[in-house]
């Protein structure tokens, strides 16, 4: 039987703490979502001042990154380059930059999605969280 790594609750907390620290250091009010490899929500945190909608967008970005095994920006770029039919892809709603997969030994074990500031800054916060592993 094959085995693969997974996100433990301690690792989820480490990612969340590092992502929160990055957001606070830059005075960015965001929502931070962490999902498992199937896109199921493990963590959701909305920092003070973050827009209410960010609490829905962050998990969607994380879900897209986990299921696609790539950054959600890839899908945004595909759409922006004219392939708008990709908007009908089933099960994907966070087709915006800010979702980053957590990869370990070639396995996607989850993803982090952030929403609330510029998309590049959302991705920066997600990567900072993942770097804590």
DSSP letter string over 14-57? HHHHHHHHHHHHTT---EEEEEETT--EEEEEE-TT--TTHHHH
pTM, two decimal places: 0.97
Ranges of residues in the chain whose predicted pLDDT is under 70:
none
Q: Where are the domains of the chain?
A: 9-131
d(CA 50, CA 116): 6
How confident is the model at residue 91, as a pLDDT? 85
How confident is the model at residue 2, as a pLDDT? 86
d(CA 10, CA 8): 5
Q: Is 84 helix (H, G, I), strand (E, B) or coil?
A: helix
How confident is the model at residue 127, as a pLDDT? 98
pLDDT digits (tens, 9 = 90+) for 74-94: 999 999 999 999 899 898 899
d(CA 21, CA 10): 17
How confident is the model at residue 51, as a pLDDT? 98
User: How is residue 82 written in tokens?
Assistant: 């004219």
d(CA 89, CA 109): 22
Which letter does DSSP use for residue 68 in this model?
Answer: H
CATH code for residues 9-131:
3.30.450.150
């Amino acid at each position: 039987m094959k085995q693969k790594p997974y996100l433990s609750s301690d690792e989820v907390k480490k990612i969340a703490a590092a992502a929160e620290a990055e957001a606070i250091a830059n005075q960015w009010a965001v929502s931070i979502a962490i999902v498992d490899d199937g896109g199921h929500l493990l963590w959701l945190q909305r920092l003070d001042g973050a827009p209410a909608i960010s609490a829905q967008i962050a998990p969607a970005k994380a879900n897209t990154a986990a299921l696609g095994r790539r950054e959600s920006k890839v899908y945004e770029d595909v759409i922006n380059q004219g392939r708008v039919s990709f908007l009908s892809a089933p099960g994907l709603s966070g087709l915006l930059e800010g979702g980053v997969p957590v990869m370990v030994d070639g396995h996607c074990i989850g993803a982090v999605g952030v929403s609330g500031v510029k998309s590049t800054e959302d991705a920066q916060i997600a990567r900072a969280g993942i770097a804590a592993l």
